[in-house]
Amino acid sequence: MDALLSFPSLFLASIQSGDYVGFTFFIGSMAMMAATVFFFFQTTQVEGKWRDSMLIAGLITFIAAVHYFYMRDFWAETGTSPTEFRYIDWILTVPLMCVEFYLILRAVGAKQGLLWKMIGYSLLMLIAGYLGETVFRSQSILWGVISTVGYVGILYEAWFGSAKKLAVNSNDPRLLGAIKALEWFVLAGWAIYPIGYMTIPGGFLDGVLPAETLDLFYNIGDAINKIGFGLVIYTLAVSKSDIVDYATNK
């Protein structure tokens, strides 16, 4: 019994005061769950051609919510980074974010090649990042650089590649606006992650920021990017419905 009592977290996940990282794990799990309810509900409200995109937005936050429940408890019990849960979450959700680019551009001629290229880049980015955080931690800078090659590939596709060209050629200001918003999420929002990664011992920010800020950066990045992506899709889907309403005068 004594042994059990000395592990109160077996019964009750706890956050110590001052554990700001644990706090963001908790907020993150709730935010992902709330966003999921919202996005799933909207799939029944938006115009038909946007339903798949809304559903994927909800699946992204749903997969994240489930992982946040695990990560939150892992952090509460061990005080260490839940690296495996983190990367399993990302390896599912980041490709789904690439699917969002493809889906909203499908009607204006996006090819599956665009989708596979982006998924390929994101796998390179995530597998290299995982290796740098685990197996080859002492060479985290090298693996971070390899990972960044994948990241730059995604950036290129979004800002200058066929995704951008299709959006520009669509002559649809709302679609172009959505792609521009997603481009900025990928450039500014996704850049939060490598900053966290650099706090790994031996990394560029080792000594500048405490090591536990890695999860702080990742948690903030996830909330901004996963919920933000969904809100861009939602905004697009709702504004599109408006056009139809005006056209039919309903």
Ligand X SMILES: *C/C=C(C)/C=C/C=C(C)/C=C/C1=C(C)CCCC1(C)C
121 counts as binding ligand X under rule CB under 6 A: no
Binding segment for ligand X (CB under 6 A), chosen from 38-46, 86-94, 110-118, 157-165, is 86-94
Vertex 235 angle, CA 233 and 241, to 5°: 100
The residue within the footprint of ligand X, chosen from 148, 162, 239, 241 (CB under 6 A), is 148
25 counts as binding ligand X under rule CB under 6 A: no
62 counts as binding ligand X under rule CB under 6 A: no
**Choice between 71 and 240, CB closer to ligand X:** 71
125 counts as binding ligand X under rule CB under 6 A: yes
95 counts as binding ligand X under rule CB under 6 A: no
Binding segment for ligand X (CB under 6 A), chosen from 8-16, 28-36, 164-172, 218-226, is 218-226
The residue within the footprint of ligand X, chosen from 222, 223, 236, 240 (CB under 6 A), is 222
The residue within the footprint of ligand X, chosen from 72, 117, 226, 240 (CB under 6 A), is 226
Residue 79 region, left (φ>0) first, then alpha (ψ -120 to 50), else beta? Answer: left
151 counts as binding ligand X under rule CB under 6 A: yes
93 counts as binding ligand X under rule CB under 6 A: yes
CB of 225 to ligand X, least distance (A): 4
Residue nearest to ligand X (CB): 129
The residue within the footprint of ligand X, chosen from 144, 153, 203, 230 (CB under 6 A), is 144
234 counts as binding ligand X under rule CB under 6 A: no
The pair of structure tokens assigned to 19 is 């554990």
Helix/strand/coil (H/E/C) assignment for every residue in the chain: CHHHHCCHHHCCCCCCCCCHHHHHHHHHHHHHHHHHHHHHHHHCCCCHHHHHHHHHHHHHHHHHHHHHHHHHHHHHHHCCCCHHHHHHHHHHHHHHHHHHHHHHHHCCCCCHHHHHHHHHHHHHHHHHHHHHHCCCHHHHHHHHHHHHHHHHHHHHHHHCCHHHHHHHHCCCHHHHHHHHHHHHHHHHHCCHHHHHHCCCCCCCCECCECCCHHHHHHHHHHHHHHHHHHHHHHHHHHHHHHHHHHHHCC
The residue within the footprint of ligand X, chosen from 39, 62, 90, 102 (CB under 6 A), is 90
CB of 144 to ligand X, least distance (A): 4
User: Rule CB under 6 A: which residues touch ligand X?
Assistant: 90, 93-94, 125-126, 129, 144, 147-148, 151, 190, 193-194, 197, 222, 225-226
